[in-house]
Each structure stands twice: as C-alpha cells, then as structure tokens.
Structure 1
Amino acid sequence: MPSMPSDSAGPQGLRRRDLLLGTLAAGFAAAVRPIAASTITTAAEGLTAGFVSIPVQGRSIPAYRARPAAGTNLPVVLVVQEIFGVHAYLQDVCRRLARLGYLAIAPSLFERQGDVTKLPDIAAILPVVATVPDAQVMADLDASVAWAASSGGGNISKLGITGFCWGGRITWLYAAHNPKLAAGVAWYGRLEGTRTPEQPFYPLDVAAKLKAPVLGLYGGKDDGIPLESVERMQAALKAAGSRSEIIVFPDAPHGFHADFRPTYRAADAADGWKRLLSWFKANGVA
C-alpha cells in the first residue's frame, strides 16, 4: 500500500488509520480468542458491506456498514459495539440486518481513545473504555445517522438502534438523546453503576426521559447485572408510563447473544433476535 499521511484524505476520505482498522478488525478482537465453534458467519454476497468514513466534528471515524446492494430509502439501524470494538461479530450482526433490508452501521466509538481490538484481555480494555465520554459517543452516533441520510441511502425517519453489553447501556442513553429515534433494543446493558465526569448517567437515570421505546433483553444469570437492578429499571419505566419493556431470559448469562463466546445460548439468542425484529417492525423501523 502506498504511504500516506495519517489524516491525508480529510473528513470525506479514508485516513490511513481508518484503512488499517478496516483490515485489522476484519477478524476477532484479541481479548475474545479462542473463538467458539458456534460462531455465525453471514455471507456478504448481494450486499454492499465494508468500512466507510464518517465525518464528525472536523475529523472522521471509521464505521462498518452493510446494506442490500440495491435499493434506496432503507430503514437504518445503528449497531453499538461491546467493549471489544467493531470486530467480526459486530460486522456479522450488520450483515444479518442488511439481509433483512436494513442499512446497518457500526461506528468505531473508541476511535479517539485507541484500537481495543488488538488489546490482549478485558483488564487492558477497561481503562480505555473508561475514558470514552458519553457526549462523544452521542455525537458520533448522530454523525452516523447524518451519514446514513446523506451518503448511505438510508431513511432516517425509520431509525433504530441496538447494542450489546457496553452498547446496551448506550442504546438506552441514545433513546433519551435523539428525538428522531423510532426504537431501540438493548442487549444486557448495565442499568446503573458508578457515575464519572465522562459517563455521568446510567439508564436508570434517564428512564423517564426516553424519547423512543426500548426493548431490553437481559439474562437471569448475568453475574454483572443482578435481577434487582433489572427490577428497579422495570419499576422506573412503569412509573414513567414508558412504552419500553424488559424481557428476562431466566437461564441466560451475560453475553448470551455473542455466538463467538462460551456465554452463547443459541435458543435465547434466536428468541431475542425475533423479538428485536418484531419490536423494530411494531415501532416503525422497517
């Protein structure tokens, strides 16, 4: 590859780091290896799929997007990463949605803080994640929506969001942030925790401020999200008169949709996916 300056292409072009991320993140994050035999791989035939550059605040961030090769006015789904970055699993989720007619976009939301896909374990990743401001994440997601409307062939009047683990928390927060969002689906995102200047709110804090209905999908045997926390969120949603709801899969652990990890539970993952599609359809993301 010819050498190029680190920001040679400007906000509309692909910087050298964007190109590198598109290559390196094609596999799985180092922290999640070895990969389970249950891993699902969705073919890209008939799709337009790969990394694009999203202009945001005078620079650009890479994002993986997948969409049908033909068609316009596509419903848009933001796909929000786990702490492991935009690696092969997130990319596959985008392709699964694209095969159903969606324009799915997974922006690299830790781009400014570092490429976590190469870090060896969770202990190395968490200090990076702790420095990612929620305000930055909201802005990057907004920029991804703008890109979908201007360059991706998307119809942002049919806008949804789904996220996993770290991205599950972000899904709830984005539903309180963007009044144009139609619906969200949060997979086992933490509902309460220690507030910091970078991350000042949790879903429980914004339960009464949701601008779009969110479906929460949680595991009854999640070691990191106790059922008491889920119950507090359910009570807060009910008190707010929210259309959001939470489904608990009694025997599922944290990460039950992550088919590349030992936590994967095929039946619960399939049930959750069906619920996601029904939720989106019922709330105008189709």
Structure 2
Amino acid sequence: MGHLSHGPANRGRRVLQTAAPLFVREPWSGVDVRGGVVVLHDVLGVTDLAEDVCRRLARDGRLAVSPYLYYERGGPAFDTAELAVARREMERLRGEDLAADIDGAISYLKGRGVSRVAVAGFSMGGYLATWAAAHLDVAAAVAVSPSGAGAAPWDGLPPLEKLLPEVRAPWLGVIGERDPQALAAAPEGAVVTVPGAAHGFYREGVDPALWERISAFLGGV
C-alpha cells in the first residue's frame, strides 16, 4: 500500500497509515491477545464513539483499528449538528476506495501477527462490515444500526438485503426496533433488537449489557 503525505489532525492520538490512516489501540497490558477488529465509523467519521469502541475492544484483549475513511479530505469528524455536511462528505466516497481502505486495515492487523480479524461498524460502517464479511477474509462481522436497506449508501453496490445472503462469516446485526427496513433485511436469528430504538441509537451511548452481547459474539468466533 502507498503511504500518504497527509492525514487527519490526530490530537495527540497514535495514527498509522495504510490505504487510509488508522486509529490504533493496543490490547491492554497483561491481557491475553484475542485477535483483531477493524472498527468502521458512521457518517460522522472517527469520533469519540469510534475511539471508545476501539478502547473497549483493546480492554478485552483485541488489537483494534479504525480507518479514517475521510482521510483524503483531512479526516474530518463531525458532530450531530453537522449531519447534513457529513452526509455530503459520505456521498463523495467511492466503493473501490472503501474496499481498499478496509482491506488495508485487515492487512495491517495480519501483518502484526493477528490471524483472526473481525469487523464491526456503525450505520454506513455497519453496511461496510457486512460487505467485508461477504468479500474479504474476516472471521466475523458486527453491524450496528446498518444502513443500506432498500438502497446502498453508494452507487454500484447492492442494498443490504441483497448483500446479506453473500456473507461468508458469522454476522450479528444490532438494530433498533424503530428501524423496520434494516430489521426486515436481516436474517432471522442473527439480530439483537434494541427496544424502542431508532436508526443511529448508538450515538446516545452503548448499553453495557448490549456491549457484553457484542463482545461475547466476537469472542465466540
């Protein structure tokens, strides 16, 4: 993979570059290493949420990375008040570039000696995690509030309901009860339904019991 001459402002955080620069969290000292996870951000970018998920995974003994998918424009992160701006940024992304960025993150983890790599994503990242489970060498995929039901986020890619039958790894969907399109697209028995929640519910914080369910799923593959 080529290296870039620029990257996002990292605010003192450790950032490595592959196809896209990576936010990296090492497994906690003294914890048995249990594999690696690529965390795929939502439309807002690598926010505190994505970083916190990487930290939680590292605490559980996983080497966790989150690629800055907006890196070509400086790797911006947005807040919820800037959702319309963030969506325009998302629409500029191209499927082939995203595929290279995800593959680069997986290659980085495998280059670190991690034999089993999972992917976990939120909203657009949940769609991408599902795509990765269908097309790349991953051990498992978690899609939290995945987008793409009815129509993929980007031209040239299939909608979520057509992508899911192609998945080749264990897949877990974590979907809000008030997100009927995503619920209808997901296979029976592979979904945790969050009562009363709408799309994007995770931005309000991930319930500890829900996190335990995700962690247990990842630990079982």
TM-score tier by shorter-chain length is 0.7 to 0.9
CA distance in 1, matches of 2:158, 2:53: 27
SS of the residue corresponding to residue 72 of structure 2 reads coil
Residues 77 and 104 of structure 1 are in contact (CA less than 8 Å); yes or no, is this contact kept in structure 2?
yes
Matched, 1:248 2:185: no
Question: Any stretches of 5+ residues in structure 1 without a counterpart?
Answer: 1-9, 27-48, 239-243
Measured on the aligned residues, the alpha-carbon RMSD in Å equals: 2.7
Match of 1:160 in 2: 118
Q: How many residues align?
A: 219
The aligned amino acid for 1:134 is G
Return 5+ residue gaps in structure 2 as ranges. Answer: none
Partner of 1:62: 21
Change (3 A) 1:101 1:201: same
Aligned twin of 2:88: 127
TM value normalised by structure 1: 0.68
> Contact 1:73–1:154 (CA<8 Å) still a contact in 2?
no
Corresponding residue of 1:29:
none
> What TM-score, normalized to structure 2?
0.86
| Aligned match of 1:189 | 146
The reply on whether 1:86 has 2:25 as its aligned counterpart is no
SS of the aligned residue for 1:215 comes to strand
Matches within 5 A, 1:66-77: 66-68=25-27, 75-77=35-37
Q: Distance in 2 between matches of 1:256 and 1:195?
A: 20
Offset of residue 134 of structure 1: 2.2
CA distance in 2, matches of 1:192, 1:251: 19
Shift of 1:171: 1.2
Residue number in structure 1 paired with 2:183 = 230
Higher gyration radius (CA): 1
Q: Tell me the residue number matched to 2:210.
A: 272
Distance 1:228 1:111 in 2: 30
**C-alpha distance 147-160 of structure 1, shift in aligned 2 (>3 A):** same
Alignment partner of 1:95: what SS? helix
Deviation at 1:76, TM superposition (A): 0.6
8 Å Cα contact 1:175-1:211 kept in structure 2: yes
Equivalent positions of 1:91-130 (< 5 A) are 91-113=51-73, 115-117=75-77, 121-130=82-91
Q: Which residue of 2 aligns with 1:174?
A: 132
Task: Note closer, same or farther for the CA distance 1:229–1:97 as it changes in structure 2 (3 Å cut).
Answer: closer
Amino acid paired to 2:91 = A
- Contact 1:173-1:202 within 8 A present in 2 as well: no
% identical aligned pairs: 24
